[in-house]
Amino acid sequence: MKTPITTKLLMVLVAMLLSTSGFAAYHHMGEIDSGIFLDAYADKAGTKLDSCTLCHSGGSYVQSGKVVTLGSCQWCHYKYGYDASGNIDETLNPYGIGYKTSGRNSAALKAVEALDSDGDGYSNKIEIDALRFPGDADDDPSKVPAPYQVFSREQLEGLPQHTQLLLMNAHKSTDFYAEYAGVSMEDLLKSAGMLSTATNIKVFAPDGFSQYFPLNPDPDPLFYHVFGIYPASVYHYDAEADIAENPAGWCDYSSPAASGLNPGNPIENEDGLKLMLATLRDGENLDPGVLTPQNKLDGEGPFRVVPPQKNPGPPDQRSTAANQNVDWPFDPDADHNAGYSPRSATIIKVEPLPEGTTDINTLEAGWKYVDEGKIVVYGAIHPGPTILSKLDALIALMDSSDRKAYENVFYKKLLVLEAHVARQFAKCGKYKTALSILEKCLLKHADGCSAAGPASDSNDWIRDCSLQKQIYWSLHELVVLLGVAI
């Protein structure tokens, strides 16, 4: 929980970590509550609970008739203010409120352990043990984070590349022609192992902006589809619209790729126009996005989702322009594709989520990926890579743990060996066999503390309850993901 501190310190944000997917956590210099929490739960350092999101929630407000949704840090800045003039209680989730009212100290953490602050049927202690937010009812131990893959710029560049010159038509800002290069969204999703159950995607920017894209063409003019080719267009030029020729213009024609075109010329794209994830604009890396003090995203990189116009047309005047007596006045029914083009895209959610899985926190993740040039695809994708990653983490946990935490050293070695065997079967696509090994050979020897309380039972091979709970919840996640794979 944040304490009143200076504007300068409030603006010092560091990376955010979502443990299961390699994200990083928001922290502020000067706040005391992270230290209190980590003193009580030292093993949660660097996990998704090691963040402001543990006690703070996001929120929304209406601006110009539109709902603006903010993540916890942005919401805190909005409600509490950079000058700490607001009411901090308005930013707290139920767990944060309980912690604050119980004394805001280590004793307060213990006092609320047995409570179910978010009313999801699990006590705060159980949720913390399972790396779930005790103040978020949508994040509980019965669900596990959905399958995911993280793509670096280098990995994206290794996929089939797509280039297209097109008009980006905006409502209020400058229209422009640009040649974007990158990977088609269809190829990216196929590379991520999209499941046959998938119906659509949602793309998120780190400031909370999101956009829905159906997989197949939809008659709604606002829905830009993933699969298939978009209609070709012609080059629309008018000196009145050209910002280089007219100070009151509204279209940027400076793209080198459009320099040889004349008005009315067809725009030829060898592979057609597609919904794409762009990595380059006119041959240059996209400027990385940054969040301004006004909670506005500035910049469009390192990746931008680019939808071509479904209904091609000319660049029309800005909607806010006083002079609409021009050749192309603002047309509310025109295809303003730029407004449906998420900038600084960091998360692609493939829906619907597989049964038994839950979201990553899309409002809390992303800025780390902007800095590192990465994007995560999660949801209805094949869980194979996630399973192998989690098995590696489980093996490393057991292998590095003190042998005294086990009933004897032989049991430790046997558990590690069984996990290695399960991984080999999973690597070969034998997910059913891997699941059987985890359930029959590992899980039954690591469930006493989680089921019975603070002590292990006679069938447990792991004596230390803290370690056993970590292993239990890791196995629980693997069982769900293996079920999806089967």
| CB-based contact 166:124 (threshold 8 Å) | no
Do 390 and 369 belong together in one domain? no
Q: Choose among 364, 363, 392, 365: nearest CA to 376.
A: 365
Q: In angstroms, rounded to a whole number, what is the distance separating the alpha carbons of residues 338 and 212?
A: 14
Residue 475: its pLDDT value, please? 95
Task: Provide the token pair at 76.
Answer: 């805190």
Overall number of domains in the chain: 3
Here the contacts of 208-214 (C-beta below 8 Å, separation 24 or greater) are 208/58, 208/69, 208/70, 208/71, 208/74, 208/362, 208/363, 209/297, 209/342, 209/343, 210/342, 210/362, 211/305, 211/340, 211/341, 211/342, 213/185, 213/275, 213/305, 213/307
Identify whether residues 39 and 84 lie together within a single domain.
yes
Of 94, 112, 142, which closes a domain?
A: 142
Nearest to residue 11, comparing CAs of 76, 69, 65, 66? Answer: 76
CA 375 to chain centroid: 8
Q: If phi over 0 gives left and psi between -120 and 50 gives alpha, with beta otherwise, what is residue 459? A: alpha
184 domain-assigned: yes
pLDDT recorded at residue 207: 78
CA 463 distance to own-chain centroid: 37
Query: Is 2 among the domain residues?
Result: no
Structural domain contains residue 148: no
CA–CA distance, 366 with 354 (Å, rounded to integer): 22
Residue 388 lies in a domain: yes
Distance of CA 306 to the CA centre of its chain: 18
Per-residue model confidence (pLDDT) at position 82: 67
Query: From CA 47, how far away is CA 54, in angstroms rounded?
Result: 11
Residues 253, 367 share a domain: yes
- Both tokens of 466, joined, read 């803290």
How high is the pLDDT of residue 363?
Answer: 63
How would DSSP label each residue in 381-411?
B--HHHHHHHHHHHHHHHHHS-GGGBSSHHH
**Interval 251-272: pLDDT, tens:** 999 999 999 899 999 999 999 9
Instruction: Report how far residue 434's alpha carbon sits from residue 190's, in angstroms, rounded to the nearest whole number.
Output: 25
In this prediction, residue 459 carries a pLDDT of 85
Closest to 169 measured CA to CA, from 15, 332, 347, 283: 332
Verify that 373 and 400 share a domain, yes or no: no
Residues 232 and 356 in one domain: yes
pLDDT at position 296: 79
Asked if the structure places residue 395 within a domain, the reply is yes
Nearest CA among 191, 192, 204 for reference residue 149: 192
**Residue owning tokens 């993740």:** 365
220 DSSP assignment: S
β-bridge partners, 290: 298
Q: Does one domain contain both 190 and 131?
A: no
Asked, for residue 458, whether it belongs to a domain, the answer is: yes
User: Closest Cα partner for 136 from 356, 473, 361, 379?
Assistant: 361
Give the pLDDT score at 442: 95
The rounded distance, in Å, linking the Cα atoms of 436 and 367 is 39
- pTM for the model stands at 0.80
* Residue whose entry in the numeric block shows the structure tokens 């699990």: 122
Q: Which of 348, 342, 344, 345 is nearest to 378 (CA)?
A: 348
In this structure, what DSSP letter does residue 346 have?
A: -
Contact 336, 347 (CB under 8 A): no
Residue 389 maps to a domain = yes
Q: What does the alpha-carbon distance between residue 431 and residue 478 come to, in Å, rounded to a whole number?
A: 10
Same domain assignment for residues 322 and 432: no
Pairing assessment for the beta strands 24-24 and 16-17 based on DSSP bridges: antiparallel
| Successive 10-residue mean pLDDT values, the chain, 486 residues | 33 29 43 89 86 85 73 75 81 95 96 97 94 90 91 97 98 97 98 96 86 92 94 97 97 96 96 98 96 82 98 97 97 96 95 90 74 95 96 97 94 97 98 97 87 64 91 93 95
Can the peptide bond before residue 302 be classed as cis, meaning omega within 30 degrees of 0? yes
In this structure, are 388 and 370 located in the same domain?
no
DSSP state of 29: T
- Give the domain-ending residue among 142, 168, 192: 142
Q: Alpha-carbon distance 186 to 213, whole Å?
A: 11
Tell me, yes or no, whether 257 and 118 share the same domain: no
Domain end marker among 379, 413, 447: 379
Same domain, 365 and 288: yes
Residues 277 and 161 in one domain: yes
Number of helical H runs and strand E runs in the chain: 14, 19
The parent domain of residue 218 ranges over 153-379
Q: Is 147 inside any structural domain?
A: no
Query: 228 and 106, same structural domain?
Result: no
Kindly state the tokens that stand for 122.
Answer: 């699990």
pLDDT of res. 453 = 52
C-alpha closest to that of 293 among 74, 58, 469: 74
